[in-house]
Structure 1
Amino acid sequence: MKVRVGLLTIALGATLGLAACGSGDSESKDKSMNEEKVSMSAQNEKISSMAMLSGAGKHQVSGKATIKDNKLMLTDFKTDEGPDLHVYLTKGDDVKNGMEISTIDLKDTTQTFDLPDQDISKYDTVMIYCEKAHEIFGQGMLTDKMSASDMSMMKGNFSGVGKHMVSGMVDVSNTDLKLSDFKTDEGPDLHVYLTKGGDIDTGKEVSKIDLKAAEQTFSLDGIDPADYDTVVIYCKKAHEAFGEAKLS
């Protein structure tokens, strides 16, 4: 009887030991995978490239695709209508081995997509692809780096934050920030900021704005716009963002 109890104790101990080892292996694998994702995300954030889109075959596609800060942005984008259009990163025309990023909005001229935590450096083409028809609508070859002129001229479209209504366009060069077709809700003490991801605390105040002027231009003397990716209309008195525009 004592022998049986002893054997059962040994067996139970071995089982628990194996379970603990398995748990340790699993935790180690999860940790390794998370570290790889963080590393890949950091690597992708260093990639800045762009492509000018054009139609394939009979299709009409135009606009610019920009990869920056682990995002893919379409600007001045136009496309033929088609069912189930998606944007891909590919190597040449190889859709099968490409990376699907997202479905696209056929009517929106400015669209931004998060890139997955995978190696994007192996792709050289941005492609607009109809999955239903298995047909390429448009594409553009990516350049390795954006030129100084591309980096120095960025633009975006405003949208309201929360309940606020803000619209119009913003153009940012090395020297100026220009608002055009600009409209905003009224509010006390509204200012325009250059920020990183909308963070006012680390951003740079550019100027107080005129609530009624559709066209406004401000000097960026002493500010490097390359450090920022979002323009924010901010109410200093209420400590509240009224609107923002992602730059690309």
Structure 2
Amino acid sequence: MEQAREQIRSVDAGPVRVLGVAFLLAMMACQVMSGLDARPERFTGAIVVLLAAGALAFAAAVWGPVRAAGAFGGAVLTGYAAEVAGVLTGFPFGDYAYGDVLWPRLGGVPVAVAVAWGGMGLAAYAVAAAVVPVPGWPRIVVGAGALTAWDLFLDPQMVRMGLWTWAHDGPYRGVPLSNYVGWLLVSALVMLVVQRFVGDREPGYGLPALYTVMAVMETVGFLVVFQPPDPLVAVAGGLTMGAFAAPAWRRLWQR
């Protein structure tokens, strides 16, 4: 019986990794088209779906499909609950509202936003697992930081595209500091949920690669592709995400 359960939890890793690479390449192509299009917001949904699909494939290859699906679903629900609370009460991110671009929605929250929490939540956790080999609070803290670092790119980009607006301007491209406090809190909860499903299993290479690709493409996008360019966001996001990706790859290559 136990052997049968393990067979259900396992998967042929090779083809699944290839599928993950295919989703990653498709996501990169969509990001390039988005950066060159006069209406980049049109590609947001496709980018998020491909991001999530790639993350799930890479996660299934190293953690098994059941654990990967549980971790992804838990991260999505955690992010969704936080976004609903944020829209209704302003906690934990601050007062903000979604524009009319992202659909469909549940409870006033675009589905794509919740799915993005899941995809990048898995990637950030894998980076943290590479940096901190033993599960526990240090891994949770690193993972929360890695996921929040992504929002140094995400929020300025989404605000400039009109996907959401803040009631009160903040010091970082109009984004209030309360947003990043909220991100750290919610990201820590996401890491706790993912760790509950994954435990001490290896992070693999696919999810850290996804995280790194996202960091590189956003950096290049803000430097030379998006109009107008924004070197501040490029440097802030690139250095911060890089500060998590670099030690992760160093540990992975040392194994």
TM-score in terms of structure 1 length? 0.23
Higher share of residues assigned helix: 2
TM-score (norm 2): 0.23
Greater relative contact order, per chain length (Cα 8 Å cut-off, separation 6+): 2
**Bigger CA radius of gyration:** 1
Greater strand fraction, Structure 1 or Structure 2:
1
